[in-house]
Amino acid sequence: MAVQTYVQTVARTLAEEMRRDERVIVLGQDVGVRGGVFLATERLYDAFGPDRVIDTPLSEAAIIGAAVGMAVHGLRPVAEIQFADYVFPGFDQLVSQAAKLRYRSGGAFTAPLVVRMPAGGGVKGGHHHSQNPEAHFVHTPGLQVVYPSTPSDARGCLKTSVRGDDPVVFLEPKRLYRAVKEEVPADVDYLLPVGHGVRRREGDDVVLISYGASMRETLQAADVLAEQGIAADAIDLRWLMPWDETLVLERVAEVGRVVLVSEAPHSGNVLSEVAATIAEEVLDMLEAPPARAFGFDTPYPYAQDRVYLPGPNRILHAVQQVLDY
């Protein structure tokens, strides 16, 4: 094992997969000589050259469109969108073409591509560099969506995504790129199964569910609760489509109280679907209605961006609601 940051893990995992399989191609704006704006493709250009690490024009439509064409013709492209906020010019290529290809061709063709994009706020980036667009993609049949919160999970989920046969939207919490370090498994075949979440903490008083960067604040809230004698179970979904219904429903049914945490806007939030499924499947086991600590239905602000995020205090308030119900 090696101690790595999140962004180091992404770069080193990509390098491993490129060495393992010559069909893996990296493309995107500034991914080559510069190594990406966040250095998530650092040194790949030197190791694999311009034919496999392709600096593209500033055109998300071209980046994703080219990746779809590569995938159809047998390559395994990993496209980088410099910020998740910029993906929308390439939205049609991803949701109307890549996502539909297997269905449209009756299984004759697949689109084994990964679209990586740094997402989320907390970096003073304002409304064009802080958004969480995951709900758009979760709503699109044919796409897998993953949003890992730790370096180890980024490694395992990225390897699984690169080796899979379906298009994957791979969101990376950029405010955690260099904020966390941990020992990362060295196994070149360290794969995390599609659709599997993980319990970060165990407890029987309340279940906290989150993913991506918000997992950090969720665990901070769990630490505060522990000091108060309240044992929180913390579930990191990791995969948003498909998501781990079995893990969530089993734990919520056993505990009876749940708080869902996401920094994406409140309306149409991915975790609202999780809350609805909980209500449909285990309503009789609940001691209180599910509570939500989400972002607000506003453009992401330039000033006070941390106020927009559901920090530990807002999570604790939601926990108190379900405990007092």
Q: Please name which of 92, 259, 309, 264 lies closest in space to residue 171, comparing C-alpha atoms.
A: 264
DSSP 192: -
Mean pLDDT in the chain?
Answer: 95
What's the pLDDT score for residue 302? 85
Total domains in the fold of the chain: 2
Of the residues 159, 184, 209, the one at which a domain ends? 184
Shared domain check, 268 and 119? no
In a domain, 193, yes or no: no
Shared domain check, 271 and 209? yes
Shared domain check, 216 and 78? no
Shared domain check, 292 and 207? yes
Asked if residue 268 lies in contact with residue 138, where contact means CB atoms within 8 angstroms, the answer is: no
Q: Is the pLDDT of residue 305 over 90?
A: no
Q: What is the rounded CA–CA span in Å between residue 206 and residue 251?
A: 9
**pLDDT by residue (tens digit) across 241-298?**
999 999 999 999 999 999 999 999 999 999 999 999 999 999 999 999 999 999 999 9
CATH of the domain at 292: 3.40.50.920
Shared domain check, 136 and 211? no
**pLDDT by residue (tens digit) across 166-203?**
999 999 999 999 998 999 999 999 999 999 999 999 99
Asked if residue 67 lies in contact with residue 18, where contact means CB atoms within 8 angstroms, the answer is: no
Of the residues 140, 157, 184, the one at which a domain ends? 184
Shared domain check, 90 and 145? yes
Q: Is the pLDDT of residue 42 over 80?
A: yes
Domain that holds residue 83: 2-184
Q: What is the rounded CA–CA span in Å between residue 220 and residue 40?
A: 27
- In percent, the amount of the chain with pLDDT more than 90 equals 91
Shared domain check, 208 and 165? no
- Find tokens 């007092």 and name the residue: 324
Which residues are known to be catalytic? 129
Shared domain check, 156 and 134? yes
In a domain, 42, yes or no: yes
Q: What is the rounded CA–CA span in Å between residue 276 and residue 271?
A: 9
Shared domain check, 171 and 55? yes
